[in-house]
Structure 1
Amino acid sequence: MKYRVTTLAGVCLAGLIVSAPAMAQDQGDAFVRVGAARTKLVDKGTISINGAVDPNADYKTRDTFHGVLTGGYFVFDRVALEASISTPATTNNMPAGSLAGTPNLGDDEFAMLTVGASLHPFKGRVSPYIGGGYMRQFTTQERDALAVGLDIPNAGGPYVQAGVDVAVSDRWGVFAEVRKGFYHTNATGRLPLDATFTNFAAVEAKAELDPLTIQVGLTARFGHGADAGSSQPIATDDAKWVLKAGLTNLSLADKVKLSVGGAPYPGAGLSTFEHHTVSVQIGRFLTPNIAINATLGLPPSIDVFGAGSIGALPKLGEVTYGPTMLTLQYHPTRSGRIRPYIGAGVSYMIVFDTKDGAFQKLRVDNDLGPAFEAGADIMVNDRWGIFADAKKAFLRPKAFGTFQGLAVEGKTKLDPWAFSGGVSFHF
């Protein structure tokens, strides 16, 4: 009886897989993936201090979370060329081993680019794939903490990946993927030997990065294999409204002019990690090519650390703010599958709450500034699509507080980048 039930279950499962929509992977088909990813570096390397290797010195970095946009084109049946780019992610460099107890040396922000190929051996609702190619990690920003002159060069090397697509319809699917890179970089900096910051030890690390990235997200398929027998083109968009929902990755410039007790405090900086929020965009076409668009995000809470001359301090505080933007957009075309747009307008930063850290009585003002955006809708059918866009705002709020009884004032330069991806609906 147990054997019959197991056999029947297997037959039913096979029937569901065969009858379900297949992810298109014929020659000439294409796909776009929008994913949310977690990346962890391997945290291994050889550390030298003043030219001498310290076998007990070590370091640790934090997990990073970012978005990944991937595009692929099937050059043969089941074989695709693909490329991906990630949004910026920030990690710290915490000493460990014989250096344990030393404050964070500094932060580095990086983005990853891949170019490679993938093999999709099976068709059906569940379509596993494997692949590999070349990965490049670009350092987009460095911030000193305890270390001075932190330098982490770009790096690159081979990667391998494995994943699975699960079809929801002829064009839509969800995916999960694991990717592993293999490369290292040579990081350098100077470590102060006293509180006066006049005597330093030269530190060099041959850091094995070897990032492991796990991502999940949405897949959209295009081409004859995704048409389910239909060759009808996507109609020209005549919708008045566009509703978008997705995830937004935010990254701040983290610059500040700080005064303590009324006197300038030179060399001070800020450090925040990338942060994420669920965002909604509502657009209304005023003319066939001009639209007004409002962007709202759930308020994220971010930890604020010191950098530069205040990099050795504990966490300065915590800020909860609401990202908003109102832009006027130009859409050069509303036909075809790929529909780019650009926009300009204003961004308003609403500060909902602050929590004290090393700085007491912390307060951050709201701020209004100009904003710009560029993105594209990739239409799956006449009404539904996926989108990816980048927004840049110029926000310079003032911050106030106290430190050891002295008044603190900071003129910040946050200038956030916001990278978003998700689903769009035209109606």
Structure 2
Amino acid sequence: MKMNIAALMSASLLGMIAASPVVAQEAGDAYVRVAAARTKLVDKGDVKTNGVLDPAAGYSTRETFHGVVTGGYYIANSIAVEASISTPATTDNLPAGSLLGTPNLGDDEFTMATLGVSLHPFRGKFQPYVGGGIIRHFTTQERDGLGVGLNIPNAYGPYVHAGVDVAMSRTWGLFADVRKAFYHTNATGLLPLDATYTQFASVDAKAELDPLTIQLGVVARFGRGGAAESDTRIETDTTKWVLRGGLTSLTLADKVALSVGGAVYPGAGLSTYEHQTPSIQIGRYLTQNIAVNATLGFPPTIDIRGAGSIGALPKLGEVTYGPTMLTVQYHPTRSGRIRPYVGIGASYMIVFDTKDGAFRNLKVDNDLGWAFEAGTDIMVSQNWGIFADVKKALLRPNAYGSFGGAPVVGRTRLDPWAFSGGAAFHF
């Protein structure tokens, strides 16, 4: 009886796969995936203090949330080469084990890029795949906490991944993917032994990173895939409006010139983590190649932490702000599937709320600055496509508060990068 049920279930599954519409995965076809992702490191490795192994010492890092864009090209039926890049993510480095209770040693920001091969054995509505290749971990920024001179070098190693594409049509789909990578780096820094920062112990760790990344997102396919020519033909776009919606990941430059009680506080810095917000863009073409575009994001709330000489302080405070941007865009082409654009304009940072931490009576000014962008629409039908873009704003608001009864003034340089991806509708 059990064997009959198993056989029936297997036959039903094979029937579903066979009855599903054929989608593009023949030699010469291609795909693009845009995803929201979660990455967590394994937090293992040998820690040495002044060159002596401390078997009880350890560390922990936060899980990160970021975006990933992947492009693939079928070099043979069911076999694709693919490459991906992630938006920046930031981890802390909290001591654990025998070092538990010590404040955060510092934060490091990183991005990951991959190059590999994947196998797509089925052509139905549900398309599982497996693959692997080489991943490169780039450290893009380091910010000291209690530690001094935090250094986390770039690293690389192999990865494997598996996932499934779920076809919603011949050109659109959803996907889920799990990737495991294997590599380590040799992190170093100095740990102060007194409050005057005159005596230090050197700390180095063979940090086993081995990140696990889970992705969920949309996939667009390009190629024959059994579709009629009329299903895939894309004419020159003559619409006037474009609506883009998706998720934006923001990272800040975290620079500050801080004064306490009217005197410059040397070596002070800020640290924030990457943060995400749903965003919408509304564009209007003024001519065939020139458009104006407004970008609005749901106001995120972010924690503001100290770095450098104030890195050992608790959280400084919280800020809720609204990211906005108005740009004039140039679209060199509105034909074909890939339609890049660049833009220039202004960004306005609206501060909705602040909450105190180590700094009391915290206030942050609104600010207006230049904005730049570059991106592309990748069309999967005449009116629908996916998009990915990057924006840079020059925002440098002043912050005010008090610490220990003394007035604090911070002249910040936030200069956010904003990485967005999602769906685009031309009408």
Secondary structure of the 1:18 match is helix
Deviations 1:326-363 (A, max 9, x none): 00000000001100000000000000001111111111
1:63 aligns to 2:67 (yes or no): no
- How many angstroms apart in 2 are the aligned matches of 1:363 and 1:226? 59
Corresponding residue for residue 42 of structure 2: 42
Task: Give the stretch that moved more between structures: 127-136 or 20-29.
Answer: 20-29
- How many angstroms apart in 1 are the aligned matches of 2:294 and 2:251? 20
Could you tell me how far 1:125 is from its partner in structure 2?
Answer: 0.3
- How many angstroms apart in 1 are the aligned matches of 2:281 and 2:47? 47
Give the partner amino acid of 1:139.
T
Indicate how the Cα distance of structure 1 residues 282 and 226 shifts in structure 2: closer, same or farther if over 3 A, else same. farther
Secondary structure of the 2:236 match is coil
1:140 aligns to 2:125 (yes or no): no
Secondary structure of the 2:313 match is coil
1:315 aligns to 2:283 (yes or no): no
Could you tell me how far 1:289 is from its partner in structure 2?
Answer: 0.2
Give the partner amino acid of 1:388.
A
- How many angstroms apart in 1 are the aligned matches of 2:226 and 2:243? 24
Corresponding residue for residue 375 of structure 1: 375
Matches within 5 A, 1:321-332: 321-332=321-332
Could you tell me how far 1:22 is from its partner in structure 2?
Answer: 3.4
Alpha-carbon contact 1:23-1:165 (below 8 Å) kept = no
Alpha-carbon contact 1:61-1:93 (below 8 Å) kept = yes
Coordinate RMSD, CA, aligned: 1.7
- How many angstroms apart in 2 are the aligned matches of 1:245 and 1:14? 36
Alpha-carbon contact 2:232-2:380 (below 8 Å) kept = no
- How many angstroms apart in 1 are the aligned matches of 2:55 and 2:353? 45
- How many angstroms apart in 2 are the aligned matches of 1:232 and 1:169? 12
- How many angstroms apart in 1 are the aligned matches of 2:141 and 2:226? 41
Give the partner amino acid of 2:234.
I
* Identity score, percent: 71
Secondary structure of the 1:273 match is coil
Give the partner amino acid of 2:342.
I
Alpha-carbon contact 1:74-1:80 (below 8 Å) kept = yes
Alpha-carbon contact 1:281-1:293 (below 8 Å) kept = yes
Corresponding residue for residue 204 of structure 1: 204
TM-score, normalised relative to structure 1? 0.97
Secondary structure of the 2:387 match is strand
Alpha-carbon contact 1:30-1:223 (below 8 Å) kept = yes
The number of equivalent residue pairs is 427
Alpha-carbon contact 1:21-1:168 (below 8 Å) kept = no
Deviations 1:304-337 (A, max 9, x none): 1000010000101010000000000000000011
Corresponding residue for residue 170 of structure 1: 170
- How many angstroms apart in 2 are the aligned matches of 1:156 and 1:13? 39
Corresponding residue for residue 95 of structure 1: 95
Alpha-carbon contact 1:29-1:226 (below 8 Å) kept = no
Give the partner amino acid of 1:179.
R
- How many angstroms apart in 2 are the aligned matches of 1:372 and 1:400? 28
- How many angstroms apart in 2 are the aligned matches of 1:102 and 1:164? 43
- How many angstroms apart in 2 are the aligned matches of 1:21 and 1:84? 27
Could you tell me how far 1:229 is from its partner in structure 2?
Answer: 5.4
1:33 aligns to 2:36 (yes or no): no
Give the partner amino acid of 2:65.
F
- How many angstroms apart in 2 are the aligned matches of 1:243 and 1:13? 38
Corresponding residue for residue 270 of structure 2: 270
TM-score, normalised relative to structure 2? 0.97
- How many angstroms apart in 2 are the aligned matches of 1:231 and 1:144? 55
Give the partner amino acid of 2:257.
K
Secondary structure of the 1:224 match is coil
Alpha-carbon contact 1:59-1:97 (below 8 Å) kept = yes
- How many angstroms apart in 2 are the aligned matches of 1:190 and 1:9? 60
Alpha-carbon contact 1:23-1:127 (below 8 Å) kept = no
Give the partner amino acid of 2:365.
D
Could you tell me how far 1:123 is from its partner in structure 2?
Answer: 1.3
- How many angstroms apart in 2 are the aligned matches of 1:216 and 1:18? 25
Could you tell me how far 1:234 is from its partner in structure 2?
Answer: 1.1
Alpha-carbon contact 1:323-1:348 (below 8 Å) kept = yes
- How many angstroms apart in 1 are the aligned matches of 2:248 and 2:319? 18
Secondary structure of the 1:343 match is strand
Could you tell me how far 1:399 is from its partner in structure 2?
Answer: 0.5
Indicate how the Cα distance of structure 1 residues 232 and 190 shifts in structure 2: closer, same or farther if over 3 A, else same. closer
Secondary structure of the 2:225 match is helix
- How many angstroms apart in 2 are the aligned matches of 1:88 and 1:254? 14
- How many angstroms apart in 2 are the aligned matches of 1:226 and 1:325? 42
Could you tell me how far 1:4 is from its partner in structure 2?
Answer: 9.9
Corresponding residue for residue 247 of structure 1: 247
- Runs of at least 5 residues in structure 2 that lack an aligned partner in the other structure: none
- How many angstroms apart in 2 are the aligned matches of 1:226 and 1:91? 45
1:305 aligns to 2:335 (yes or no): no
- How many angstroms apart in 1 are the aligned matches of 2:193 and 2:82? 48
Corresponding residue for residue 259 of structure 2: 259
Matches within 5 A, 1:123-134: 123-134=123-134
Q: Which runs of 4+ in 1 moved over 2 A?
A: 1-23, 226-233
Matches within 5 A, 1:345-424: 345-424=345-424
- How many angstroms apart in 2 are the aligned matches of 1:234 and 1:107? 46
Alpha-carbon contact 1:171-1:226 (below 8 Å) kept = no
Indicate how the Cα distance of structure 1 residues 5 and 204 shifts in structure 2: closer, same or farther if over 3 A, else same. closer
Alpha-carbon contact 1:171-1:227 (below 8 Å) kept = no
